[in-house]
């Protein structure tokens, strides 16, 4: 029972991190119908940005570092929008090719600039907190708290603001949204910026848990694929649910079977959801 | 230039290059060109399903791994020659490939969702293989050293592998060229252009799509057997990575998807560009990174400015 509780909590922590990474991908798919194969590589940029701010910029308080990283990733998002905008209406194969090309270029540039050796933050002594039988490191609690705050903020943004309503309209039907006077290009641009800015938060949260290296993003890209399909493509709440499901599946699989079985179960889930519930577990995703 | 001449010239040029490398005796060049021909072959196999039938799968590494593992396992365990073992692998690949394609396509998966489903199938195989002790687990299987034994698919010189890779590629291309304007090829292209109108004119869309995947699986699996013998080892992470899956696609799309010679053009041009870049970049630079950078830049340029691929530059702009 104690093991079960501990595994559950670990799974939830990983799920929270996956949610931060995957939500941006699903937002971008919702408004543009583009799956970003370079998504994890933008997370890699955020990890490097947080790493260099944390290590070389003196004693900036963590909140300032987080804000700077998010701001920087927002600017990166503007660049990404400029690159993607010519092919929004092109074929899916063009979308895949362009984002794959971006992914390769980003990884190669990181390798040239920072070499391929992984960069770790100095192992700070994170205190372990015991809650009943479950022990949690402080950084995990921090990650959970940040994800909770972001979730609430996203909910408010999408449901209570004019931008959120327009985003959902564009996501529902770009042409109709245009007909009722929504400038879909501006919404798309804002959504790409939102997507990478969220990766900024994810990078800041992840840095103590992960290193920064040129190919660190690839597994996250793959996990984000799984998460957003399980949640339903373009469904933001679904992505949160999917992330928790994936985090828990991995944790249970690894604890009770083996680490590789965690992988098998996660991809089997992806396959089965696609075949049986192509609109995701909540049934609200977009299918092309 | 119209008609057959551009094709004949192209084949002549590639053959001349391969023959020149064969007689050059430089083992680096022979291995490089062997690898290029091999990539062109798996690209061509992908081209059958994606280029002809419009089925965008990203799971062909599955067939590659099955072909590589079954021949190497059957040889090590039962002494069965890889020349026979590769057909066992091909049969498994075709069977599983058809089953997965049938289930996914029948469920209505198309485009990016089909990409995800097929990629998931290859990742399930990856994690399963990592757990299988009898197949070497994460370390994979190595072939023991033998100098020269053609029956065991082992040759003393690099040249033999160059010739076999060239034959493999030639068979794949000949197959494509021969079905292109015949019944099945026409059906596949009709399905690619418009599934509904293909179905209206009496084509069984699902059957044709599965048939295309089966052909693709057959050639990819045999290419997998070749890979195992050429590299003398197999490992799950080398064969089933996202990187390898994307490679089956990239060369074809850069060259020209749907064109018989697309993958060949793509593989040769991308390799040539990265070789030139390596020679131009000074010593001390990270060669692997420079090569990747050039690859990525070429892919972006093609996606933005020439979505039909390099072959479409040849003027007619018509998909074959």
pLDDT in tens, B22-49: 998 788 889 999 999 999 999 999 999 9
Query: Which chain A residue lies closest to B130 (C-alpha atoms)?
Result: A260
Confidence check: pLDDT of A259 > 80? no
Is A76 part of a structural domain of the chain?
A: yes
Residue A123 lies in a domain: no
A264: which chain B residues are within 8 Å (Cβ-Cβ)?
A: 124, 127-128, 131
Q: Look at A136 and B259; give whichever has higher pLDDT.
A: B259
Answer whether A104 sits within 8 Å of B289, measured CB to CB: no
Residue of B nearest to A271 (CA): B117
Interval A62-81: pLDDT, tens: 888 889 999 999 999 999 99
Residues 9-48 of A with CB under 8 A from B: 35
CB-CB under 8 Å, A105 with B300: yes
* Minimal C-alpha gap between A217 and chain B (Å): 12
Helix extents (H) in B48-81: 60-78
Taking Cα atoms as reference points, which of A80, A56, A53 lies closest to residue A195? A80
pLDDT digits (tens, 9 = 90+) for B69-114: 999 999 988 989 999 999 999 999 999 999 999 999 999 999 899 9
- Which residue pairs from B238-241 have beta carbons closer than 8 angstroms and sit at least 24 positions apart in sequence? B238/B140, B239/B61, B239/B64, B239/B65, B239/B68, B240/B61, B240/B62, B240/B65, B240/B122, B240/B123, B240/B125, B240/B126, B240/B129, B241/B61
Rounded CA separation A94/B193 (Å): 17
Q: Which residue of A has its CA nearest to B307?
A: A94
CB count within 10 Å of CB A176 equals 11
**Average pLDDT score, chain A:** 89
Task: Please report residues of A whose CB lies closer than 8 A to that of B292.
Answer: 104-105, 107-108, 111
Per the structure, the count of domains in chain A is 1
- Write down the pLDDT at residue B61: 96
Q: How many CB atoms lie within 10 A of CB B96?
A: 18
Q: Do A261 and B246 touch (CB under 8 A)?
A: no
Q: Which of B246, B303, B309 to mutate to test the interface with A (most CBs of A within 10 A)?
A: B303
Determine the distance in angstroms separating the CA of A242 from the nearest CA of chain B, rounded to an integer: 15
Q: Please report which confidence band the pLDDT of residue A116 belongs to, taking 50, 70 and 90 as the band edges.
A: confident
**Residue range of the domain that includes A190:** 2-115+135-276
> Residue A156, exposed/middle/buried by CB under 10 A (0-12, 13-18, 19+)?
exposed
Q: Is B283 helix (H, G, I), strand (E, B) or coil?
A: coil
* CB nearest to B117's CB, from A86, A108, A274: A274
Mean pLDDT of A93-119: 92
Higher pLDDT, A217 or B4: A217
Cβ-defined contact of A101 to B299 (cutoff 8 Å): yes
- Closest Cβ opposite residue A229 in set B116, B126, B130: B116
Q: Are the beta carbons of A105 and B296 separated by less than 8 Å?
A: yes
The answer to whether the beta carbons of residues B114 and A288 sit under 8 Å apart is no
Q: What are phi and psi of A60, to 5 degrees?
A: -70, 140
In a domain, A108, yes or no: yes
Residues from chain B contacting residue A229 (CB–CB below 8 Å): 113, 116
Query: A125 lies in a domain?
Result: no
User: Tens digit of pLDDT for each residue in B212-221?
Assistant: 999 999 999 9
Is the predicted pLDDT of residue B1 greater than 50, yes or no?
no
Cβ <8 Å between A263 and B126: yes
* Overall size of chain A counted in residues: 288
pLDDT band at B282 (very low <50, low <70, confident <90, very high): low
Would you put residue B126 in left (φ > 0), alpha (ψ -120 to 50) or beta? alpha
Residue A130 domain flag: no
Sign of CA dihedral A254, A260, A262, A263: positive
Contact B296 A101 (CB under 8 A): yes
Q: Where are the domains of chain B?
A: 32-239
Residues 3-62 on B with a CB inside 8 Å of A are: 56
pLDDT at residue A61, as a whole number: 82
The answer to whether A260 contacts B131, with C-beta atoms less than 8 Å apart, is yes
Whether A231 is in a domain gets the answer yes
pLDDT over threshold 90, residue A268: yes
Listed residue (B86, B92, B64, B91) closest to B73, CA to CA = B86
* pLDDT above 50 (res B317): no
Asked if the structure places residue A283 within a domain, the reply is: no
Asked if B222 reaches chain A (Cβ–Cβ under 8 Å), the answer is no
Contacts of A276 in chain B (CB under 8 A): 107
pLDDT of residue A171: 86
Rounded Cα distance, B40 and B256, in Å: 12
The CA distance from B75 to B225, in Å, is 11
Is A1 near chain B, with CB under 8 Å?
no
- Dihedral (C-alpha) A14, A18, A21, A25: value to the nearest 10 degrees? 180
* CB-CB under 8 Å, B113 with A261: no
Token pair belonging to A208: 């103590």
Q: Does B287 touch chain A (CB under 8 A)?
A: no
pLDDT reading at B319 higher than 70? no
Please, which residues bridge with residue A134 across strands?
Answer: A131
Of residues A102, A104, A287, nearest to B292 (C-beta)? A104
Strand partners, B142: B233
For A123-151, the DSSP string reads: ---PPEEEETTEEEEHHHHHHHHHHHHHH
Question: Is residue A23, in this structure, part of any structural domain at all?
Answer: yes
Partners of B306 on chain A (C-beta within 8 Å) are: none
Pairing type for strands B141-142 and A134-137 reads unpaired
From CA A96, how far away is CA A221, in angstroms rounded?
A: 13
Q: What is the pLDDT of residues B156-181, one digit of tens each?
A: 788 899 999 999 999 999 999 999 88
Give the nearest partner residue to B120 out of A94, A105, A267, using CB atoms: A267
Residue of B nearest to A86 (CA): B304
Cα B109-B195-B202 angle, rounded to 5 deg? 125
Indicate the pTM of the whole model: 0.91
Give the Cα separation of A232 and A225 in Å (integer). Answer: 11
Are B286 and A115 within 8 A, CB to CB?
A: yes
Inform me whether the C-beta atom of residue A100 falls under 8 Å from chain B C-beta atoms.
yes
Is residue A227 over pLDDT 80? Answer: yes
> B-chain residues within 8 Å CB-CB of A87?
303-304
ipTM of this predicted structure? 0.90
């Amino acid at each position: 029972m104690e093991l079960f509780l501990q595994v559950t909590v670990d799974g939830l922590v990983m799920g929270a991190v996956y949610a931060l990474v995957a939500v941006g991908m699903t937002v971008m798919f919702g408004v543009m119908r583009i799956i970003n194969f370079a998504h994890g590589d933008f997370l890699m940029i955020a990890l490097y940005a947080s790493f260099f701010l944390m290590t070389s910029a003196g004693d900036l308080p963590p909140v300032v570092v987080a804000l700077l990283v998010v701001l920087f990733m927002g600017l990166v998002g503007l660049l990404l929008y400029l690159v993607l905008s010519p092919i929004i209406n092109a074929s899916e194969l063009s979308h895949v090719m362009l984002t794959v090309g971006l992914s390769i270029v980003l990884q190669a540039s990181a390798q040239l600039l920072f070499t391929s050796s992984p960069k770790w933050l100095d192992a700070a002594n994170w205190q372990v907190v015991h809650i009943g039988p479950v022990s949690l490191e402080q950084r995990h609690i921090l990650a959970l708290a940040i994800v909770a705050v972001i979730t609430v903020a996203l909910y408010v943004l999408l449901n209570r603001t004019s931008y959120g309503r327009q985003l959902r309209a564009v996501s529902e039907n770009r042409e109709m949204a245009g007909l009722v006077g929504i400038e879909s290009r501006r919404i798309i641009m804002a959504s790409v910026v939102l997507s990478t800015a969220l990766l900024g938060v994810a990078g800041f949260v992840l840095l103590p848990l992960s290193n920064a290296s040129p190919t660190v993003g690839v597994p996250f890209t793959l996990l984000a694929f799984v998460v957003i399909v399980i949640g339903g493509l373009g469904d933001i709440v679904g992505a949160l649910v999917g992330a928790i499901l994936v985090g828990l599946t991995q944790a249970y699989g690894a604890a009770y079977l083996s680490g590789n079985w965690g992988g098998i179960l996660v991809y089997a889930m992806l396959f089965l959801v696609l075949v049986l519930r192509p609109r995701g577990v909540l049934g609200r995703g977009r299918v092309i | 230039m119209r008609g057959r001449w551009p094709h004949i010239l192209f084949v002549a040029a590639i053959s001349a290059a391969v023959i020149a490398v064969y007689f050059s005796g430089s083992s680096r060049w022979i291995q490089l060109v062997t690898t290029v021909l091999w990539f062109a072959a798996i690209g061509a196999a992908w081209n059958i399903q994606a280029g002809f039938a419009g089925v965008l799968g990203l799971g062909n590494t599955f067939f590659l791994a099955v072909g590589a593992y079954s021949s190497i396992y059957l040889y090590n365990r039962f002494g069965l020659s890889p020349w026979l073992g590769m057909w066992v692998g091909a049969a498994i690949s075709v069977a599983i490939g058809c089953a997965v394609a049938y289930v996914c396509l029948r469920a209505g998966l198309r485009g990016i969702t089909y990409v995800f489903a097929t990629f998931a199938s290859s990742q399930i195989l990856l994690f399963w293989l990592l757990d299988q002790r009898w197949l070497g687990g994460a370390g994979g299987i190595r072939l023991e050293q033998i100098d020269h034994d053609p029956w065991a698919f082992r040759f003393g010189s690099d040249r033999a592998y160059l010739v076999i890779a060239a034959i493999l590629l030639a068979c794949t291309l000949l197959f494509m060229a021969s079905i292109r304007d015949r019944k099945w090829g026409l059906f596949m292209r009709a399905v690619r252009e418009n599934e509904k109108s293909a179905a209206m004119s009496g084509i069984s869309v699902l059957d044709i799509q599965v048939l295309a995947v089966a052909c693709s699986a057959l050639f990819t699996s045999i290419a997998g057997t070749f890979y195992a013998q050429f590299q003398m080892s197999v490992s799950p992470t080398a064969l089933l990575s996202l990187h390898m899956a994307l490679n089956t696609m990239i060369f074809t799309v850069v060259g020209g998807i749907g064109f018989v010679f697309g993958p060949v053009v793509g593989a040769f041009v991308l390799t040539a560009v990265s070789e030139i870049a390596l020679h131009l970049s000074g010593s001390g630079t990270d060669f692997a990174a420079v090569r990747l950078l050039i690859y990525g830049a070429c892919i972006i340029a093609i996606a933005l400015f020439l979505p039909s691929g390099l072959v479409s530059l040849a003027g007619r702009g018509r998909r074959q």
